[in-house]
Amino acid sequence: MYKRTKDLQLSIIKQIELRASKYPDVVSLAQGIPSFDTPSAIKRRVENALRRGVVAKYSLSPGLPELRELIEVGLAQENMFYDWEKEILVTAGSIEAITATVLAITDPGDEVIIPGPTYTSYREVITLAGCKPVFVPLHESKGWAFDLEKFREAITAKTRAIFYCNPNNPTGTIYTQEQLLGLAELAEQYDLFLVSDEVYKDFVFDDSKEKIFSLAEIPSLRKRVIRIFSFSKAYAMTGWRVGYVHSDESVIKEIIKVHDSLVTCAPVISQYAAMGALEMGEKDLKFFIGEFKNRRDLMCERLDRLGHIFSYIKPNSAYFVFPKIVTPFNKGGEGDLKGGFTDSWKFALELLDKAQVAVVPGIAFGPNGEGHIRMSFGRSEEDINKAFDRMEKYFK
Amino acid sequence: MIKQILKKILQYYLKFVTKMVLFIYRPTVIAIAGSSSKVFVKDEINRVLRESGVAVRSNPKSFNTEIGLPLAILNLPSGYNSYIDWLPVIWKAFLALFRSGFPRYLVLELGVSDVRDMKYLLSIIKPEIAVITDITQRYLEGFGNMDELVGEYEYLVSSMSKDGLAVLNYDNFRIKQMSESARCKIIFYGFNQGADWQAKLISHSDSGQKVEIKSPSGTTVYNINRHGQHHIYASLAGAIIRNYVELEKKKI
């Protein structure tokens, strides 16, 4: 009994949030959620759908045709050409897309390579599918870049896919076109799927870059690349649970079977919200990008003042900083831990308990994340300042 | 209540200015209607017209209803739900009466979601060409039944003057039937035998689709760097419009 779930754990982010909820005055930089409410234009679209009485029934399993058409149009503007009827599948957020994809493309016993540190839930989904997650470390000294040779070394006869998040959560790294093309070469050579989770693709803070490069832009890779997007981050819609996955028809026709058995269809009301986002969310998205850039700069300024505790690489994307704990820290006294707190779990718990600031321990993102913590600048400037005021006081 | 009244005032103001602009500049209007694929057909017709060297304007995004259509014609953004954002739009709409460089062609999607929507939209524009893309159960919720929904598109086709042209999807039975009530010239397009412009998929690869299009003037092979049958329909409609524009040029 419980064989399938015995190796799973509730995501460390959720565990931290649960613990944090017991502290009434906690400031959370833990969960990756934007501080904004869903834009009013999107809400109006939903209100209209409610008034028209079109949200009570299931949609077609792959999603509302009009939403998928809009997605196809949006993808074409980003140089990705997919057929809305057969190659685009609307899902209940990116996590359902990830789960349906992993269950569709793997067999139990397969291995899936994930660069670490990366999004915490990949490990759980891969394990749930009866597969083995294989972490390949990213290079912190090279700005958290890929080392292709490390990927090659990790590939075995059982490897089925490489699963990566671009821009990467928690490091905010944007992988270069050259790195991604190198990965594609490996995938071609060893006949692997490439699953590209691009939920933070809109948050690019480098003014010289208009958009991130995606391997889904290359026609010859379309049977190999599975790209995932969610409306959660870009349009402040984390609670709506809506996203999509796209790939070649030959791949999507398998993923849709799993999607159908998991959720039948994405929540229809949320699909209308997603339509609102694509039709009218552009202005709000631009505003969010500007805000997050300011908040990133604020968080980095505040981190600079804690240079004796943390070192960090300034992120170019997403809304996280992933600082390294550079000084084993021990305040002394009862209950403190021997040898300091470079153990990221203990460090995060100590910070929560003593400073009432919630952060995510780096170990949540794979073995290579140990010795780090993740801080989200999706929170308001007020929350960021409050959290850092408390940390400065605590680390004094 | 006040919001609804202001919306009505705005709607009729934009309609009035748009009709004035259309009267002054007299562009050729190509209307695209149907339950699905309007955007792909619009983009393709836009593309072929630009390739033919004529100036063209079309709806951005889904600006295809009572407020959106005038904004598309006047080339103005929406103020959405902000009174302040609407103020410059209202002023610029007035200035559009005096602006030079109005395009020769307007390619306009028409969106209908309730009974009589088409009648209202056709009180703003008088299309020379109408393309009906497809009719499915999409948007049926605003209508009592399928006949009412189809009736909206029938109204468009039957409203066309005898000098006009209706480009109809031959593969959709309800659309095919619309020719019976039309006074204008009809061109059928589709995959089925009997269409005036008939497509046949030759091959499909990672880089797109290879299609053969048979028309009254011969057979041409097209490479479409998009995936999905809807792009073949869009290419057919685009090819028909290209042919029409070239014939018009010759007449001049």
Q: How confident is residue B34, by pLDDT bands cut at 50, 70 and 90?
A: very high
Q: Which helix (H) or strand (E) holds A114?
A: strand A111-116
Q: Which helix (H) or strand (E) holds A310?
A: strand A310-311
Q: What's chain A's length in residues?
A: 396
Paired with B223 in beta bridges are: B210
Q: Is the dihedral of CA B89, B91, B96, B101 positive or negative?
A: negative
CB contact under 8 A, A83 and B227: yes
- Asked if A253 reaches chain B (Cβ–Cβ under 8 Å), the answer is no
Q: How confident is residue B13, by pLDDT bands cut at 50, 70 and 90?
A: very high
CB contacts, 8 Å: B113 with chain A: 52
> For residue B62, what are the domain limits?
2-188
In degrees, to the nearest 5, what angle opens at C-alpha A166 toward C-alphas A162 and A168? Answer: 100
* Mutate which: A43, A82, A84, A278, vs B, most B CBs within 10 A: A84
pLDDT tens digit string along A130-178? 999 999 999 999 999 989 999 999 999 999 999 999 999 999 999 999 9
Task: Return the structure tokens found at A387.
Answer: 């959290």
Q: What is the mean pLDDT of chain A?
A: 93
Could you tell me if A85 and A68 are in contact, meaning their C-beta atoms sit under 8 angstroms apart?
A: yes
Smallest CA–CA distance from A81 into chain B, residue: B226
Task: Return the structure tokens found at A242.
Answer: 């809506």
CB contact under 8 A, A52 and B141: yes
Q: Fill in the DSSP letter of residue A376.
A: E
Per the domain annotation, does B69 fall within a domain?
yes
CB contacts, 8 Å: A53 with chain B: 141
Between CA B181 and CA B194 the distance in angstroms is: 19
Smallest CA–CA distance from B61 into chain A, residue: A279
Per the domain annotation, does B235 fall within a domain?
no
State the nearest Cα–Cα gap between B164 and chain A, in angstroms.
Answer: 29
Q: What is the pLDDT of residue A14?
A: 82
pLDDT tens digit string along B114-132? 999 999 999 999 999 999 9
Q: For residue A210, is pLDDT > 80?
A: no
Summarize the confidence of residues B90-108 as an average pLDDT.
Answer: 93
- Interfacial A residues in 213-232 facing B (CB < 8 Å): 219-220, 222-223
CB contacts, 8 Å: A280 with chain B: 80
Q: What's the CATH code of the domain at B159?
A: 3.40.1190.10
Between CA A14 and CA B186 the distance in angstroms is: 62
Q: Which of A40, A44, A73 has the CB atom closest to B39's CB atom?
A: A73
Per the domain annotation, does B115 fall within a domain?
yes
The gap between the terminal CA atoms of chain A, to the nearest Å, is 50
Where are the extended beta strands (E) located within A211-260? Answer: 225-230, 243-246
CATH architecture of A12-38+283-395: Alpha-Beta Complex (3.90)
Q: For residue A121, is pLDDT > 50?
A: yes
DSSP A136-190: EE-BGGGTSB--HHHHHHH--TTEEEEEEESSPTTT-----HHHHHHHHHHHHHH
pLDDT tens digit string along A185-199? 999 999 999 999 999
Q: How confident is residue B247, by pLDDT bands cut at 50, 70 and 90?
A: confident
Per the domain annotation, does B82 fall within a domain?
yes
State the nearest Cα–Cα gap between B114 and chain A, in angstroms.
Answer: 10
pLDDT tens digit string along B155-195? 999 999 999 999 999 999 999 999 999 999 999 999 999 99
Could you tell me if A120 and A13 are in contact, meaning their C-beta atoms sit under 8 angstroms apart?
A: yes
Torsion of CA A20, A23, A29, A30, to 10 degrees: 0
The gap between the terminal CA atoms of chain B, to the nearest Å, is 52
Q: In what order do the strands lie in the sheet with A193-197?
A: A88-91, A243-246, A225-230, A193-197, A159-165, A111-116, A132-137
CB contacts, 8 Å: B228 with chain A: 72, 83-87
Smallest CA–CA distance from B139 into chain A, residue: A54
Kindly report which listed range (A93-102, A187-196, A339-348, B71-80) carries the lowest average pLDDT score.
A339-348
Paired with B212 in beta bridges are: B200, B221
CB atoms within 10 A of CB A44: 14
Smallest CA–CA distance from A43 into chain B, residue: B81
For chain B, which residues lie within 8 Å of any Cβ of chain A, measuring from their own Cβ? 36-37, 39-40, 61-62, 80-81, 113, 136, 138, 141-142, 206-208, 225-231
Kindly report which listed range (A29-33, A74-78, A264-268, B207-211) carries the lowest average pLDDT score.
A29-33
- The residue ranges of every structural domain in chain A are 12-38+283-395, 40-280
Q: What's chain B's length in residues?
A: 252
CB contacts, 8 Å: B223 with chain A: none
Summarize the confidence of residues B13-33 as an average pLDDT.
Answer: 96
Q: For residue A83, is pLDDT > 70?
A: yes
pTM of the model: 0.93
DSSP chain B: -HHHHHHHHHHHHHHHHHHHHHHHH-PEEEEEESSS-HHHHHHHHHHHHHHTT--EEE--TT--STTHHHHHHHT----TT-HHHHHHHHHHHHHTTT-S---SEEEEE----STTHHHHHHTT---SEEEE----STTGGGSSSHHHHHHHHHHHHHHS-TT-EEEEETTSHHHHGGGGG--SEEEEEESSTT-SEEEEEEEEETTEEEEEEEETTEEEEEEESS-SHHHHHHHHHHHHHHHHHHHHHHH-
Could you tell me if A131 and A110 are in contact, meaning their C-beta atoms sit under 8 angstroms apart?
A: yes
CB contacts, 8 Å: B226 with chain A: 76, 81, 83
Could you tell me if A354 and A315 are in contact, meaning their C-beta atoms sit under 8 angstroms apart?
A: no
DSSP A316-362: SBTTEE--EE-S-----STTPPTT-S-SHHHHHHHIIIII-EE-EEG
Per the domain annotation, does B219 fall within a domain?
no
Tally of structural domains, chain B: 1
3-state secondary structure of A112: strand
Return the axis-axis angle of helices A282-304 and A381-395, rounded to nearest 10°.
Answer: 10
CB contacts, 8 Å: B229 with chain A: 85
Q: What is the pLDDT of residue A331?
A: 53
Q: What is the pLDDT of residue B3?
A: 84
Q: What is the pLDDT of residue A110?
A: 98
Could you tell me if B166 and B133 are in contact, meaning their C-beta atoms sit under 8 angstroms apart?
A: no
CATH number of A40-280: 3.40.640.10
Look up residue A1 and give its amino acid.
M
3-state secondary structure of A382: helix
- Interfacial A residues in 84-143 facing B (CB < 8 Å): 84-87
3-state secondary structure of A227: strand
CB contacts, 8 Å: A220 with chain B: 206-207
Q: What is the pLDDT of residue A329?
A: 60
3-state secondary structure of A132: strand
Could you tell me if A116 and A367 are in contact, meaning their C-beta atoms sit under 8 angstroms apart?
A: yes
CB contact under 8 A, A66 and B138: yes
Task: Return the structure tokens found at B103.
Answer: 């395009």
CB contacts, 8 Å: B82 with chain A: none
Between CA B78 and CA B59 the distance in angstroms is: 12
Return the axis-axis angle of helices A93-105 and A121-128, rounded to nearest 10°.
Answer: 40
